[in-house]
């Protein structure tokens, strides 16, 4: 029984850290691309994560009832893998600057200028 607790706690720490990194990187990328309505864009990203958290519990219950806990874990892992693929499609803000006619000497990301 003790092995299950250790296994579940290590999985929960890894999943929490991974989702935290996905959320932080999406907020930073949105703030790099939007300057005029940056607050609205950031609010949309933050609301999306809240809606996702709201929908995970009923989706998990449905998947467990339909496919069992092992099948549900495989399906959720596939969904998270899709999120990792979407995260790999983030482009740096400098690539967007190169497409414009007059690139500025500073990057368009105010967060990255401070680093």
Mean pLDDT calculated for residue range 82-88: 79
pTM greater than the 0.95 cutoff: no
Domain boundaries, the chain: 2-89
DSSP single-letter state for residue 107: -
Collapsing DSSP to helix, strand or coil, 33 comes out as helix
**CA-closest candidate to residue 96, choices 45, 33, 38:** 33
| pLDDT per residue as tens digits for the range 28-81 | 888 888 878 888 888 888 888 788 889 988 999 999 999 998 898 889 888 888
| CA of residue 61 relative to chain centroid, distance | 22
Give the dihedral sign, CA 11/21/41/102: negative
Q: Which two tokens stand for residue 54?
A: 């709201």
């Amino acid at each position: 029984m003790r092995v299950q607790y250790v296994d579940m706690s290590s999985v929960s720490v890894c999943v929490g850290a991974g989702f935290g990194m996905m959320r932080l990187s999406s907020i930073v990328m949105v703030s790099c691309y939007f300057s005029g309505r940056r607050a609205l864009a950031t609010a949309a990203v933050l609301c999306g994560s809240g809606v996702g958290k709201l929908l995970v519990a009923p989706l998990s219950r449905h998947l467990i009832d339909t496919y069992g806990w092992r099948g549900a874990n495989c399906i959720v892992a596939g969904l998270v893998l899709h999120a990792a693929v979407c995260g790999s499609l983030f482009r740096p803000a400098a690539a967007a600057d190169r497409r414009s006619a007059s690139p500025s000497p500073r990057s368009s990301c105010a967060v990255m200028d401070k680093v």
